[in-house]
Amino acid sequence: MLNKIQKNIKTYVKQLPNFQTFINAKSALYFGLAAYWGVILIGTFFNI
């Protein structure tokens, strides 16, 4: 049973994206959040 669990863990690790893709996704997420909050703040100050 332990061997079966170990094989499942290995398949999940192989399916994870590589580290470079993770960095790009993280940067895109931060950029999106900054744009979102920028629109909210501009709308607040100009009463749009």
pLDDT tens string 8-38: 666 666 666 665 666 687 888 999 999 999 9
> Which residues, in sequence order, are CB contacts of 42 under 8 Å at separation 6+?
48
| Alpha helix segments (H runs only) across 1-48 | 2-15, 19-46
* Whole-structure pTM value: 0.51
Instruction: Give me the amino acid identity at 45.
Output: F
Domain boundaries, the chain: 19-48
The structure tokens 């290995």 sit at: 10
